[in-house]
Amino acid sequence: MKFFQGWMERGRARTSVITGMCLCLVVMAAGIGCGKKAPPRAPEKPGQRVASPGDPTASLNNGQLTLTWTHETDPDDAALPPEYFDVSMAMPAACEGCPFVFESVGQVPVPVMVFQMPVPEPGVRYFRVQAVGDHDVRSKYSRTVVVEVP
């Protein structure tokens, strides 16, 4: 009988150790999976970048929202010229602390640096511009422009 009781107690200890280790592995696996997901991008080589758009401004006139920006290619820092500009828009997040979700609303061919769209419904919108070069090489985003539609 003593043999059976000792065997059962050691079994419980082993079971709780194994259960604890499995729980730790599950928690670690869940933590590893968090983070920002993005499609793969081409590796950057020195001088093989596209310069970011600068000085974005927005205006509302006659039912049109107009977004303008500037762009200069610096041969020392970012030698690739852009092929087009990608304009993205986001609305305020649905909950406090939630991130904005920017979605592309249009592409503008180079050398044009003006984007127009009908004025959206009243509310706050956020816009940013990104230059895109050959082989989908993308610049950093411009600063975000906040537009309040009355």
Residue 95 is predicted with a pLDDT of: 81
Task: Give pLDDT, residue 77.
Answer: 66
pLDDT value at residue 140: 92
pLDDT given at position 49: 81
Q: Domain spanning 48-149 has what CATH number?
A: 2.60.40.10
Contact 145, 67 (CB under 8 A): yes
Mean pLDDT of 36-41: 60
Kindly report, residue by residue over 105-138, the tens digit of the pLDDT: 999 999 999 999 998 788 889 999 999 998 888 9
Domain residue spans in the chain?
1-33, 48-149
At 58-75, the pLDDT tens digits run 999 888 999 999 998 776
Place of tokens 């419980």: 12
CB 149 within 8 A of CB 60: yes
